[in-house]
Homo-oligomer: A and B are copies of this chain.
């Protein structure tokens, strides 16, 4: 980092962060690539998700987990892995896996399968005894559009059941859930959610730059953002600080 300080740059929260989180999606990094990512962007990464079920087919899983854990960066399996076990009635196997790999966090989601919401909350409750739970709201199915009041109701119930943070679903490409098929943000939905749910409780999945810019302008420098590609952590940090073209003038006006 430059040793000279620019004046009047927005202030970021510091690690360990409760908000202003950047959650990175690892969909198949090598051990060296993780080490490189930590060298480049370690101070800006709060938590890492091993995308969907990639952990199931990754030969170097144990070594990868160790590198993250040694660096003090929490890591968890994507929600689709949870769902793959649930649909096969293997919830107990899933709990054993979390133990076996020393996981401290787990995701509960229902993006690919239908789970009655009371049952989903029961999974959150049970897993909360074992790990810190992040639960995901919203479907990967572009046909399933919830009304805002429904999002809010589901989110409140999941917080009550024990979720540490809520993830607002999109797919890796960023085009369902809180986004229209075009990738555009469903603005009215977001506004309404934020009137009822504390903003620090939500991690917005925002893999695309325009989405990151949109949330930073709406919620601020220290909004929680997720599904960030490894190579985009440094660019995101500059956007948060008003130091990239996209947000330069948004923050400069307050100088």
Contacts of A41 in B (CB 8 A): 28, 58-59
Copies of this chain in its oligomeric complex: 3
Q: Are A39 and B28 in contact (CB under 8 A)?
A: no
A224, chain B: closest CB distance, angstroms: 18
Q: Compute how far the CA of A89 lies from the CA of B51 in the bound complex, rounded to whole angstroms.
A: 44
Q: Compute how far the CA of A70 lies from the CA of B34 in the bound complex, rounded to whole angstroms.
A: 25
Given A32-B32, A243-B52, A39-B27 contact (CB < 8 Å): no
Q: Compute how far the CA of A238 lies from the CA of B252 in the bound complex, rounded to whole angstroms.
A: 42
Q: Are A248 and B40 in contact (CB under 8 A)?
A: no
As a 0/1 sequence over residues 34 to 64 of chain A, the CB contacts with chain B under 8 angstroms (1 = contact) are 0011011111100000011111111111000
Taking the complex as formed, is A207 at the interface, i.e. its CB lies under 8 A from any CB of chain B? Answer: no
Most B CB atoms within 10 A — which of A84, A90, A171? A84
Contacts of A6 in B (CB 8 A): 56, 84-85, 88, 90
Q: Are A59 and B42 in contact (CB under 8 A)?
A: yes
Given A97-B2, A245-B140, A27-B252 contact (CB < 8 Å): no
Which residues of A137-179 have CB atoms within 8 Å of chain B's CB atoms? 140, 171, 173
Give me the 9 closest cross-chain CB pairs, A-B, nearest first: A28-B234, A30-B36, A53-B243, A140-B245, A112-B248, A57-B237, A7-B88, A30-B40, A30-B39
